[in-house]
Structure 1
Amino acid sequence: MSKYVSAATITIIGLTCKSVLKLGLCPITVNGLPKLLAALDSSERENGRGVVTVCNHISTLDEPLSWGVLPCRNYWTSRKMRWTLGAADILFTNPVLSAFFRNGQVLKTVRGAGIYQPAVDTAIEKLSRGDWIHLFGEGNVCQPDTYPVENGIGHLRRFKWGIGRIVMETPRPPMIIPMWITGFDKLMPEGRGFPFNFIPHFGAKLSVTFGDPHGKMKRDLGSDEESRDVRIAVTEVVQRAVEDLGRSVSGTTLGVKPVTQS
């Protein structure tokens, strides 16, 4: 029964998001979607090679609205929809919300509990079965005007090292697809007071871009210290891939005004 409840939950949310986008309430441009669909249709998934998408996180509506770009057929099939990590202190605060997000394929994640916690373990297990895991590397909402700037160039905040653990400890290297979204920060700006913080600014121009899949990462794990260094290095590689995609979409500053050098 839970399988069907989950499928119904995802389908209803997916179709709702697709309707919002189709009605033109939020004009959207989609690039590279066939790259993701090809990965989800890959026969390698049956042999335990999972799919990981990693994206910048600029508003509370990134999830689930960005998945309104998927074909309708994906919503009813668990294997064609992402599992994602969601903050326990926001999404799992009462039994109703907990049931809703659990059925929406969200893994309860305790921020500050480190990379060795059940949500990360479960993500690795699911990837080992060829499932799709979606990650927001920064771990929380970071709108472009808050990006750190170095030499006039914006960067995403440091990605969480759990990404490195997920990638390194999955038996078969997953297909890693960087994503970049724009405009969602205008749709749902941060910092507004109640009740405006719950009201979208329809009319914002959105875009969702999928990059080229990345292949195998270095997977040599030695001592605990060496393993930590490899996880950090892998996380940094994934972050650069997402940033590079973002620069190809938004320009070298990632949407941040360059700092004038004195």
Structure 2
Amino acid sequence: MSSRTSITPTGPGFFTNLWHAFGLFFWVILLRILNHVRIQNLENIPKRGEHGVLICSNHISALDPFVIAVTAMPFFSPVWWRAPAKEELFRWPLVRTIIGTWGGFPVRRGKRDFEAIETMTRLLPVSVIVIFPEGRRSPDGRLQPGKAGVGKIIYDAKPAKVIPVMIEGSDRLLPKGRILPRLFQTVTITYGAPLDLSRFFSLENSIKLSQQVVDVVMQSIEQLRRNRP
């Protein structure tokens, strides 16, 4: 069975959680001891065991998923935390296995990947999914338009929570093209209040509507940057 269809909506078992704990410990050392991560609005972070949560963040560094993990993902989580990753990473068996054990699944960049959209729609009710609506890292740190596919996921899955997130400073920690991260940098991550998108759910599904949904998400992410002290 291919990696694109083998994901099952079940919580991680003991040994998978142990593997996650080992990985989180490494990233905690790198990001929170050798660097500094400042967290804004702790009250908006998903509670342990919550599911049906979609975390939507801006994307400025390859380290962004790990910044979210060390600030929000609980040790020994009873539900899966998942995230899409670019399909190219799944060409290597070892990398594919590692990403898969962390709840990652492939997505084709640059065009609408209907299979990935279906996968996220299916898994979201029983998972926490972290997604970057821009689709790829911003080349200049500025927020890029969100992809309509994210709006379709929200429309179809109707998540219990959609949480906007703004990350700042991770691009200085690991700029594009750099292999090893810098040390003693400060990263700020701001968790916004859950968005009420229910007004869209009674409207007729369309690409235009999906774009309107994700536009609201992106506006909320930008507002977090503007409102930060």
Q: 1:249 to 1:199 in 2, by over 3 A?
A: same
Deviation string 1:86-136 (CA, Å, 9 cap, x unpaired) is 1011x212111001000011111111341412x22111111233x211111
Which residues in structure 2 correspond to 1:151-170 (within 5 Å)? 156-170=143-157
Query: Which residue of 1 is the match for residue 114 of structure 2?
Result: 116
Q: 1:15 to 1:146 in 2, by over 3 A?
A: closer
1:26 matched residue in structure 2: 35
Partner letter of residue 189 of structure 1?
P
CA distance in 2 between partners of 1:240 and 1:141 (Å): 17
> Structure 1's 67 and 128: CA in aligned 2 closer, same or farther, altered over 3 A?
closer
In structure 1, what is the equivalent of residue 54 of structure 2?
52
Amino acid at match of 1:179: V
Q: Give distance in 2, aligned partners of 1:204 and 1:134.
A: 23
CA-based RMSD of the aligned residues comes to: 2.1
How far has the Cα of 1:75 moved from its partner? 2.7
The answer to whether the 8 Å contact 1:159/1:235 transfers is yes
Taking structure 2 as the reference length, the TM-score comes to 0.86
TM-score w.r.t. length of structure 1: 0.75
Is 1:8 equivalent to 2:6 in the alignment? no
* Paired letter, 1:205: T
Q: Cα offset for 1:4?
A: 4.3
Q: How many residues align?
A: 217
Structure 2 residue 82 is matched with structure 1 residue 83: yes
3-state SS of paired residue (1:86): strand
Amino acid of the residue matched to residue 212 of structure 1? A
Out of 179, 182, 189, the residue aligned to residue 175 of structure 2 is 189
Q: How far did residue 221 of structure 1 move?
A: 4.5
TM-superposed CA distance for 1:146, in Å, is: 5.1
Classify 1:146/1:11 alpha carbon distance in 2 versus 1 (closer, same or farther; 3 Å).
Answer: closer
2:166 and 2:41 mapped to 1: Cα distance? 11
Rg bigger for which structure?
1
Paired residues of 1:177 and 1:213 also in contact (CA < 8 A): yes
Please give the alpha-carbon distance, in whole angstroms, between the structure 2 residues aligned to 1:245 and 1:52: 17
Please give the alpha-carbon distance, in whole angstroms, between the structure 2 residues aligned to 1:19 and 1:132. Answer: 24
Where does the alignment leave 5 or more consecutive residues of structure 1 unmatched?
148-155, 251-262
Determine the C-alpha separation between the residues in 2 that align with 1:110 and 1:82: 20
Which of 101, 109, 124 pairs up with 1:127? Answer: 124
Query: For the structure 1 residues 162 and 6, does the alpha-carbon distance in structure 2 shift closer, same or farther, using more than 3 Å as the test?
Result: farther
Identity of paired residues, percent?
A: 23
User: Does the 8 Å contact 1:167/1:174 carry over to 2?
Assistant: no
Answer whether contact 1:167 1:173 (CA < 8 A) is retained.
yes
The one-letter code of the counterpart of 1:33 is L
Q: CA deviation at 1:249?
A: 2.4
Amino acid at match of 1:88: E
- 1:72-96, CA deviations, whole angstroms, 9 ceiling, x for partnerless residues? xx232251x521111011x212111
Helix, strand or coil at the partner of 1:199? coil
1:202 aligns with 2:183: yes
Query: CA offsets, 1:194-219, max 9 Å, x none?
Result: xxx21111111111110111123311
Separation in 1, partners of 2:119, 2:75:
21
